[in-house]
Amino acid sequence: MDEDEQILSSGGTAVQFAQVTSQAVVVELYFWVRISKDGGSVKSGLLTKIYNAFADEGIDMALPIQQVMLNQTNSETKVKPNH
């Protein structure tokens, strides 16, 4: 965080472990930004730097897996309209 000019050093920064489970380690970062409207882009840039640092060290991010099930009906099945 020290490298980003948009993150203020005078307001204090904090890094804390919020949760550790078998599936994730949740780390919370707290920092002050120079211009509040730029907070989203500063956060995005910081997350990108963290992701790249993990990749450089060979640490993979666990991505959620979703399974989609499609039910297919017979094309000859007809639905009678309610009149």
82, pLDDT greater than 80: no
Residue 65 lies in a domain: yes
Residue 2's pLDDT is 63
Domain interval for residue 46: 1-72
What mean pLDDT do residues 79-83 have? Answer: 67
The three-class DSSP label of residue 49 is helix
**How far is Cα 64 from Cα 71, in angstroms, rounded to an integer?**
23
| Within-domain flag for 81 | no
- The number of folded domains in the chain is 1
Q: pLDDT of 30-79, one tens digit each?
A: 989 988 888 899 999 999 999 999 999 999 877 778 888 888 776 665 66
Does residue 9 sit within a domain?
Answer: yes
Determine, yes or no, domain membership for 80.
no
Separation in Å, CA 63 to CA 15, 23, 66: 23, 10, 10
User: For the segment 3-39, what is each residue's pLDDT rounded down to a tens digit?
Assistant: 778 888 887 889 999 999 888 889 999 989 988 888 8
Q: Report how far residue 41's alpha carbon sits from residue 24's, in angstroms, rounded to the nearest whole number.
A: 24
pTM for this entry: 0.62
